[in-house]
């Protein structure tokens, strides 16, 4: 119900914002197929219909990972309505995200913590992207489900879901260290030095791995998803790293966290409204917020695999030279919602946190639906 209410809120805000923008009533179907299908959505729809193309502006599509457009393609019968297919997939997967997050949190905590985690996910400022034709919902569903099955020692399923996660977003790679740490944590894995006396009287040591078996290999499986994506790059362009060039030349995304920080400060202090907020101040706030969640997760002794997920996903979000979508990227740092749930021990704290989050949630959804850049 929490997730469904949040989805209704996204549609309602999109409708109201369009009503005021257009000066009157708007067809609800227009809201669905236009106001919630914009920006990156168009790239996904183009890939779904035509595949990756190595010419013209369409060549920029190689920077977008293939699994979400693949899902759009297999359920679309008329590409005039491909946007609707994208919305169906995103919204179904966001419900699956809620289900698996609840089940995952319940492995360690009570119902109250699990419900609060769902609440904070559903009203996160950038949560409108869970209802729009974007890949965040698919990525979150696959990533959380992978860790859930890893927690239940179903390593083959965890690994296969990890492959699909890494085919959805580059941050799916964080599942490699996360699953490795989870496996070792469960197995209480240790390294033992065993002293061996040779025939010539010299001593040597042999490393013995305790608790390690072949199922460990499934923790490496998400890396296969990324290798498949590199192979697609090679087939389309002849260069397995072609996406990095597109990210650099078209999206101004190089590895340079300091430059990203400076660009956000520059937009905050010099750009006009709303870009001084959306590409400036909000980028700084959410980058800082993600870092604070990592520190809080460590203090709360969150499960090691979750801490690994938090750190590396945050690092991916803030490692670029131009901070453009940090709020949306931090949306997929799902352990932060467990941290928020654990921090909101008092009802008053929960209410204050919810009101603050909802305020920015309404702002982001409003601007996204009216075609302004948000995240």
Tokens of 252: 């101004």
What does the pLDDT average to over 80-109?
95
Query: Does the model's pTM come out above 0.95?
Result: no
Three-state DSSP class for 193?
strand
Predicted pLDDT of residue 201: 56
Please choose, from the candidates 153, 39, 61, 125, the residue with its C-alpha nearest in 3D space to the C-alpha of residue 336.
125
Answer whether residue 195 shows pLDDT above 70: no
Please give the Cα distance from 203 to 338 (Å, whole number): 50
| For the chain, percent of residues with pLDDT exceeding 70 | 90
**Ramachandran sector of residue 371 (left: φ over 0; alpha: ψ -120 to 50; beta: rest):** left
Q: Are strands 190-197 and 203-210 parallel, antiparallel or unpaired?
A: antiparallel
Does the pLDDT of residue 150 top 70, yes or no?
yes
Place of tokens 């697609």: 232
- Which residue's entry shows tokens 């995304």? 253
**Pick from 48-52, 248-252, 371-375: least confident:** 371-375
Please report how many Cα atoms fall inside a 13 Å half-sphere around the Cα of residue 93, on the Cβ side: 29
Structure confidence by residue, pLDDT tens digits, 274-325:
889 889 999 999 999 999 999 999 999 999 999 999 999 999 999 999 998 9
pLDDT tens figures, 25-53: 566 666 667 788 888 999 999 999 999 99
Residue range 97-132, pLDDT digits in tens? 999 999 999 999 999 999 999 999 999 999 999 999
Q: Is the pLDDT of residue 196 over 60?
A: no
Give me the mean pLDDT over the 154-181 stretch.
97
Q: Which two tokens mark 127?
A: 């949560």
pLDDT of 206 above 80: no
How far is the C-alpha of 63 from the C-alpha of 74, rounded, in Å? 21
Token couple for 236: 């389309």
**Given this model, what pLDDT does residue 192 score?**
56
What pLDDT, on the 0 to 100 scale, is given for residue 24? 63
pLDDT at 198 over 70: no
Question: Quick check: helix, strand or coil at residue 289?
Answer: helix
Question: What φ, ψ does residue 100 adopt, rounded to 5°?
Answer: -70, -35
* pLDDT, position 300: 96
Which of 371, 365, 372 minimizes the C-alpha distance to 130?
A: 365
For the chain, the average pLDDT equals 90
| Model pLDDT for residues 327-370, shown as the tens digit of each residue | 999 999 999 999 999 999 899 999 999 999 999 999 889 888 88
Max CA pair span of the chain? 93
The predicted model gives 14-24 an average pLDDT of 78
Quote the CA–CA distance of 90 and 138 in Å, as a whole number: 6
What SS3 class is residue 320? strand
Sorting pLDDT into bands at 50, 70 and 90, what band is 248?
Answer: confident
């Amino acid at each position: 119900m929490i997730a469904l209410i949040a989805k209704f809120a996204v549609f309602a805000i999109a409708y109201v914002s369009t009503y005021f923008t257009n000066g009157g009533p708007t067809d609800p179907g227009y809201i669905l197929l236009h106001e919630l299908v914009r920006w990156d959505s168009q790239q996904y729809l183009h890939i779904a219909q035509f595949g990756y193309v190595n010419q013209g502006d369409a060549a920029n599509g190689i920077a977008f990972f293939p699994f979400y457009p693949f899902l759009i393609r297999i359920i679309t019968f008329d590409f005039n309505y491909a946007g609707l297919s994208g919305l169906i997939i995103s919204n179904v997967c966001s419900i699956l995200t809620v289900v698996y997050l609840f089940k995952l949190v319940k492995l360690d905590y009570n119902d109250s913590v699990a419900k609060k985690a769902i609440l904070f996910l559903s009203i996160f400022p950038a949560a409108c992207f869970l209802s729009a034709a974007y890949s965040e919902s698919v990525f979150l569903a696959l990533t959380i489900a992978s860790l859930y099955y890893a927690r239940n020692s179903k390593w083959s399923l965890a690994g296969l879901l990890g492959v699909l996660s890494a085919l959805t977003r580059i941050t799916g790679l964080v599942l490699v260290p996360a699953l490795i740490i989870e496996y070792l944590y469960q197995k209480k894995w240790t390294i033992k030095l065993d002293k061996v006396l040779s025939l010539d009287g010299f001593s040597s040591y042999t490393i013995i791995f305790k608790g390690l078996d072949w199922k460990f290999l499934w923790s490496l499986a998400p890396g296969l998803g990324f290798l498949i994506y590199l192979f697609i790059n090679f087939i389309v362009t002849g260069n397995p790293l072609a996406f990095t060039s597109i990210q650099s030349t078209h999206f101004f995304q190089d590895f340079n966290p300091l430059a990203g920080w400076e660009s956000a400060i520059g937009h905050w202090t010099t750009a006009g409204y709303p870009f001084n907020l959306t590409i400036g101040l909000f980028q700084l706030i959410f980058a800082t917020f993600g870092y604070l969640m990592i520190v809080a997760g460590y203090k709360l002794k969150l499960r090691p695999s979750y801490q690994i997920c938090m750190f590396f996903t945050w690092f991916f979000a803030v490692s670029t030279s131009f901070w453009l979508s940090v709020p949306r990227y931090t949306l997929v740092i799902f352990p932060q919602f467990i941290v928020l749930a654990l921090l909101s021990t008092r009802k008053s704290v929960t209410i204050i946190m919810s009101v603050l989050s909802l305020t920015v949630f309404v702002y982001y959804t409003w601007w996204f639906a009216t075609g302004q850049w948000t995240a």
